[in-house]
């Protein structure tokens, strides 16, 4: 490591650039904490991979995910936030209200008085070898990113939550036919989303259906073998695209053994707070929320994290 005196030293380092990270940045910048945001590999986070967002307050006509994120970024920058493309690769947190260290892109270390973790969550996969084999060759976890490649073709999507329902209706606009593979006999998605699926003529919902294998050749996917878990009937659906929409896992590998987390990896914050078990380290957004997982709740906790960081610094400076 470089001599500690030569390292950049910031008051507030924000890791992640979704609604939580940028909202934290807006508040931290306005409190004169001169925040630095490291975007991670997906600047703007999960919302950049979605289409219409109709439930973010302040947009009566709706807004697209990428535009919403550009707006949040511009608002954070307007107050002096420095947004940098980079990925946190290691952390060395001080246990006793000291200065924390975060390594960026495997090389550069930064000193930070407070760190706001807003690293979000990432799509889950089924875990089938064939899913991995054909990832990028017909298998995708993002209909909005990759649906275009399957224009006029038949595809399948696995999952029964709001994401799967939203992506199925998105794909239905591009594709000839969409099979929706639901493992139980009912959806998890909200009634409004289920209604939308049911009213889309080219979506066929297959209940009690599990994916056994994705089949294909050197050209990519050409089918998916499914089984009805009640009747045990097996069949192959002729599809060229296979989309996975079965939820997300929090991006917390970096903090394993360092910060308290639950059994599924979500960071644990103190009640009614974004404080983690280490003083000066705060967590907001999907990385600590497996209940609501909405852009607006992520933004709300981002605001809390910045206010708490500001109060923590004020108390530290006054010797409390």
Does position 265 interact with ligand NDP (CB under 6 A)? The reply is no
Q: Which residue is nearest to ligand NDP (CB)?
A: 161
Does position 196 interact with ligand NDP (CB under 6 A)? The reply is no
- Give, to the nearest 10 degrees, the angle between helix 162-174 and helix 191-198: 30
Total residues contacting ligand NDP by CB under 6 A comes to 17
Q: Are 274 and 284 in contact (CB under 8 A)?
A: yes
On the CB side of 105, CA atoms within 13 Å amount to: 7
Does position 166 interact with ligand NDP (CB under 6 A)? The reply is yes
State whether residue 265 is helix, strand or coil: coil
Does position 299 interact with ligand NDP (CB under 6 A)? The reply is no
Q: Are 55 and 296 in contact (CB under 8 A)?
A: yes
Strands (E), 118-269: 121-123, 139-140, 154-158, 177-181, 203-206, 209-217, 220-228, 234-237, 241-244, 248-250
- Is residue 145 flagged as an active site residue? yes
- Is residue 175 flagged as an active site residue? no
Catalytic residue of the set 32, 54, 105, 145: 145
Give CA–CA dist 92/80, Å, rounded. Answer: 26
- Candidate ranges 6-14, 72-80, 241-249, 253-261; the one touching ligand NDP (CB under 6 A): 241-249
Identify which of residues 104 and 182 has a Cβ nearer to ligand NDP in the complex.
Answer: 182
Distance in Å, CB of 67 to ligand NDP, minimum = 16
Interface positions, 145-164, toward ligand NDP (CB under 6 A): 158-164
Catalytic residue of the set 146, 154, 286, 289: 146
- Is residue 12 flagged as an active site residue? no
Dihedral pair phi/psi, residue 44, rounded to 5°: 95, -15
Give CA–CA dist 166/30, Å, rounded. Answer: 36
Among 183, 225, 249, 316, binds ligand NDP (CB under 6 A): 183
Q: Which residues bind ligand NDP (CB under 6 A)?
A: 55, 126, 158-164, 166, 183-184, 188, 246-248, 293
């Amino acid at each position: 490591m470089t001599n500690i005196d030569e390292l950049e030293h910031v008051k507030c380092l924000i890791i992640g650039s979704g609604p939580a990270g940028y909202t934290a940045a807006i508040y931290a910048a306005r409190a004169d904490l001169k925040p630095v945001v490291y975007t991670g590999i997906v600047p703007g986070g999960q919302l950049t991979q979605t289409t219409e967002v109709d439930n973010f307050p302040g947009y009566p006509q709706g807004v697209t995910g990428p535009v919403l994120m550009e707006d949040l970024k511009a608002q954070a920058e307007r107050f002096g936030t420095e947004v940098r493309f980079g990925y946190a690769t290691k952390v060395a947190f001080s246990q006793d209200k000291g200065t924390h260290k975060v390594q960026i892109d495997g090389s550069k270390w930064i000193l930070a008085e407070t760190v706001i973790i807003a690293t979000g969550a990432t799509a889950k996969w089924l875990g089938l070898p064939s899913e991995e084999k054909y990832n990028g060759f017909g298998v995708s976890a993002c209909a909005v990113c990759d649906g275009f490649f399957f224009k006029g073709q038949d595809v399948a999507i696995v999952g029964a939550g709001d994401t799967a329902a939203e992506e199925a209706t998105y794909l239905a606009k591009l594709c000839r036919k969409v099979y929706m593979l639901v493992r139980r006999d009912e959806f998890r998605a909200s009634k409004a989303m289920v209604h939308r699926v049911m009213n889309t003529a080219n979506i066929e919902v297959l209940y009690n259906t599990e994916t056994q294998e994705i089949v294909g050749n050197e050209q990519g996917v050409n089918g998916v073998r499914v089984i009805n878990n009640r009747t045990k009937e097996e069949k192959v659906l002729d599809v060229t695209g296979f989309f996975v929409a079965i939820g997300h896992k929090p991006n917390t590998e970096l903090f394993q053994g360092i910060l308290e987390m639950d059994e599924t990896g979500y960071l644990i914050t103190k009640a009614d707070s974004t404080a983690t078990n280490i003083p000066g380290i705060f967590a907001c957004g999907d990385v600590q929320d497996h209940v609501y997982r909405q852009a607006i709740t992520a933004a709300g906790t981002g605001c809390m994290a910045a206010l708490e960081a500001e109060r923590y610094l004020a108390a530290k400076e006054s010797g409390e």
